[in-house]
Amino acid sequence: MPSHKATVMDSSLMLPQRTTLQILPCTVSQLLSASRGSDRTFTICNWELNQVSVVGIIRGSAPSVTNIQYSVDDMTGPPLNVKQWVNTEDCVSPGTYVKVIGSLRSLDGQRSLLAMDIRCIKDLNEITSHMLEVVQAHMQLFGKAFDVNMNTIVGHDGGEHPKGVLPNGLSTIQGQVMHVIRRFSVSDIGIGFHELQSQLNHLSMGDLRASLTFLINEGHVFFTIDEHHFKSTEH
């Protein structure tokens, strides 16, 4: 099946069927799992990617003479390498939330996002908003619902789950909390609440506590040395 190229911009995301976005909202997980196309391009569901946007936190940076390389993490998978050809004086500090617009490329054998623009995020509501845009845009483009990790969302009765709900019944926020707890579950004591809060500082205290309560009650997470340390039951 031939690839399609995204060429038309519609800022409202209310797209007619088979229309594309010039800038497609994506997650890091989606970009890392995108299929390689011809001519150094990448595709999602046979749809050729032009420019994409991701939102995440900068975990590290490596400035050089001609460019800066960042490690951007949005909690949906391993961090993504982002490369920007700019003056190193413009380097964004680790720990900063950013929105990156660019093109996915394979540079020196590594999948990287070649950034056209990197903007610091001041309103953390943009993080949640971006995740919702990801789900909506992909549903409208491909005619079916996906979660943020590009899994098709199908309910037990064959219908789609509500928007923003993952196949295992977790909301997008609960999925982010679960992802961080899994990462730290290799340790005997798991992750402490303060470290979890630091890893997910874009979430409100209420959302974090509500997600933890749900994950514990549903058997996804358990206490370790005390009621402030947690591990995934998968470990």
CB 112 within 8 A of CB 105: yes
Among the four given CATH numbers 1.10.10.60, 3.40.50.300, 3.30.70.1050, 1.10.10.10, the one describing domain 172-232: 1.10.10.10
Would you kindly state where each structural domain of the chain is located, as residue ranges?
A: 23-141, 172-232
Question: What is the per-residue burial (b if ≥16 Cβ within 10 Å, else e) of 17-30?
Answer: eeebbebbbbbbbb
Question: What is the predicted pLDDT for the residue at 134?
Answer: 84
DSSP string, 87-144: -GGGPPPTT-EEEEEEEEEEETTEEEEEEEEEEE-S-THHHHHHHHHHHHHHHHHHSS
| CATH number for the domain formed by residue range(s) 23-141 | 2.40.50.140
Mean pLDDT, consecutive 10-residue stretches, the chain (235 aa), reads 40 41 83 79 81 94 89 88 80 92 86 92 88 80 56 45 51 84 89 90 84 87 91 83
